């Protein structure tokens, strides 16, 4: 029923657009297709948490990893809107087919006041839009905050976004969200986002982001009659520099703190502490010519920086070439290597290696 409704919506919308002499709307799309081969896996540690590369050794095949279908509509000089559908290999239907869901559905009031827009609906969050723009290879992998689950790429709510100076060197973005990307809200708690970007010179961006997730209190492990906070705070700093049509480089550090999220037992003693996860990413890309580019990235992730928890860090290396036969077509041979720290009292873990050829098309 959901697929039928979406199809009917698009059919009716298409008819309305064709009927207009001059359309204020625009359809666009993007999709990524991989041929992948899992070159190496350590099957002795197949069930470890917080791994990026999945599947057994020698597994290979073709995969439609992600596809977008977008309609942007200019209602008037004052109002504009976007409706976007997404299909990806991780969102499967009950009969194991690729599922389709609403990614964006928002309306924007342009220039609510000088230099600032108001956005209402399901929309991008402020957390990693800038770092993703500098990385520019979302077709290969998410940015580190997105990949490690520090933040969601979408939320439903109301946002205010704009500039704080006449030269647009200082920009801000505030969002009050429901913390419910799925669109189904089951509690009263909200998510509060803030984003501040400084661009001192052309091509350079220094961006601070943060968000507070309000969550229900949890039972105190040391006193079952009382409750303690379980709110979470994510914060990040990104610095990026790019020279148009030549190269881009970026570095990002992030921390996710969950109040009272770590419970440590020592005999009959119970210690409750904040759970702190950290992530770091360094990436660069370089264009040799209009038809050939390259990219490299290194990520580090530690789900808990507590001194007593060891052997849980993850490293991810990504490298590849970008062949561009046409403006909106990229063919990218790439390799992903994930190394995992050795758990306590364990032998060393072999790295996970996956080779891919990724096709990215925009239309």
291 belongs to a structural domain: yes
334 belongs to a structural domain: yes
Q: What is the pLDDT of residue 363?
A: 92
Three-state DSSP class for 189? coil
DSSP for residue 44: G
To which H or E segment does residue 5 belong? helix 2-18
In this structure, are residues 59 and 93 in contact, taking their beta carbons and an 8 Å threshold? no
Q: Which neighbouring-strand residues pair with 301?
A: 279, 314
What is the distance, to the nearest Å, from the Cα of residue 179 to the centroid of all Cα atoms in its chain? Answer: 15
In this structure, are residues 208 and 234 in contact, taking their beta carbons and an 8 Å threshold? no
**Tokens for 226?**
């009382």
Q: What is the pLDDT of residue 21?
A: 45
Q: What angle do CA 345, 350, 354 make, to 5 degrees?
A: 145
Q: What is the pLDDT of residue 14?
A: 53
Q: Which neighbouring-strand residues pair with 282?
A: 251, 298
In this structure, are residues 333 and 321 in contact, taking their beta carbons and an 8 Å threshold? yes
**Tokens for 223?**
């006193």
Range of the domain at 87: 26-362
**Tokens for 214?**
């309000």
CA distances (Å), origin 78, targets 35, 110, 117, 119, 322: 44, 5, 10, 12, 39
Q: Pick the closest to residue 117 from 155, 152, 77 (CA basis).
A: 77
CA distances (Å), origin 77, targets 21, 81, 107, 108: 18, 12, 13, 11
Q: Measured over all CA atoms, what is the biggest interatomic distance in the chain, rounded to whole angstroms?
A: 77
16 belongs to a structural domain: no
Q: How far apart are CA 3 and CA 92, in angstroms?
A: 13
CATH number at residue 268: 2.40.160.10
**Tokens for 17?**
């657009």
Q: How far apart are CA 336 and CA 315, in angstroms?
A: 10
Domain count, the chain: 1
CA distances (Å), origin 34, targets 86, 308, 324: 17, 40, 16
224 belongs to a structural domain: yes
Decide: residue 77, CB within 10 A, 0-12 exposed, 13-18 middle, 19+ buried.
Answer: exposed
**Phi/psi at 6 (nearest 5 deg)?**
-65, -45
17 belongs to a structural domain: no
**For tokens 């970007």, what's the residue?**
197
3 belongs to a structural domain: no
18 belongs to a structural domain: no
**Phi/psi at 153 (nearest 5 deg)?**
-75, -15
9 belongs to a structural domain: no
Q: In this structure, are strands 292-302 and 269-289 parallel, antiparallel, or unpaired?
A: antiparallel
Q: What is the pLDDT of residue 183?
A: 62
Q: Is the dihedral of CA 127, 130, 135, 136 positive or negative?
A: positive
* Binned average pLDDT, 10 residues per bin, the chain of 363 residues: 48 48 80 96 80 92 94 95 90 74 95 95 95 97 96 94 95 94 78 98 97 92 88 97 94 97 81 94 97 98 90 95 96 97 77 97 95
Q: How far apart are CA 110 and CA 108, in angstroms?
A: 6
Q: What is the pLDDT of residue 180?
A: 80
Q: How far apart are CA 218 and CA 49, in angstroms?
A: 24
């Amino acid at each position: 029923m959901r697929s039928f409704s979406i199809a009917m919506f698009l059919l009716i919308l298409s008819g309305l657009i064709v009927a207009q002499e001059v359309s204020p709307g625009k359809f666009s799309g993007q999709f990524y297709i991989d041929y992948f081969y899992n070159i190496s896996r350590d099957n002795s540690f197949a069930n470890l948490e917080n791994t990026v590369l999945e599947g057994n050794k020698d597994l290979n095949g073709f995969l439609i990893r992600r596809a977008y279908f977008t309609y942007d509509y200019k209602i008037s000089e004052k109002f504009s809107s976007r409706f976007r559908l997404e299909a990806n290999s991780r969102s499967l239907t009950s009969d194991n087919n690729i599922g389709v869901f609403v990614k964006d559905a928002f309306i924007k009031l342009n220039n609510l006041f000088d230099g600032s827009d108001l956005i209402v609906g399901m929309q991008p969050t402020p957390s990693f839009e800038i770092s993703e723009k500098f990385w520019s290879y979302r077709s290969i992998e998410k940015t580190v905050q997105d990949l490690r689950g520090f933040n969601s790429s979408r939320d439903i709510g109301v946002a205010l976004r704009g500039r704080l100076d006449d030269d647009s060197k200082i920009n801000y973005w505030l969002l009050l969200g429901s913390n419910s990307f799925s669109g189904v809200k089951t509690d009263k708690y909200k998510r509060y986002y803030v984003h501040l970007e400084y661009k001192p010179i052309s091509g350079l961006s220094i961006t601070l982001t943060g968000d507070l997730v309000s969550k229900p209190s949890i039972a105190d492990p040391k006193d079952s009659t009382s409750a303690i906070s379980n709110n979470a705070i994510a914060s990040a700093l990104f610095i990026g520099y790019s020279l148009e049509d030549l190269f881009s480089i970026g570095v990002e550090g992030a921390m996710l703190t969950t109040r009272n999220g770590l419970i440590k037992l020592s005999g009959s003693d119970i210690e409750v502490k904040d759970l702190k996860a950290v992530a770091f990413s360094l990436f660069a890309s370089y264009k040799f010519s209009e038809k050939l580019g390259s990219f490299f990235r290194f990520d580090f992730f530690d789900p808990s920086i507590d001194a007593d928890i060891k052997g849980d860090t993850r490293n991810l290396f990504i490298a590849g070439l970008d062949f561009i036969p046409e403006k909106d077509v990229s063919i990218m041979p790439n390799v992903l290597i994930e190394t995992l720290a050795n758990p306590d009292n364990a032998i060393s873990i072999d790295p996970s290696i996956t080779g891919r050829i990724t096709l990215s098309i925009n239309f």
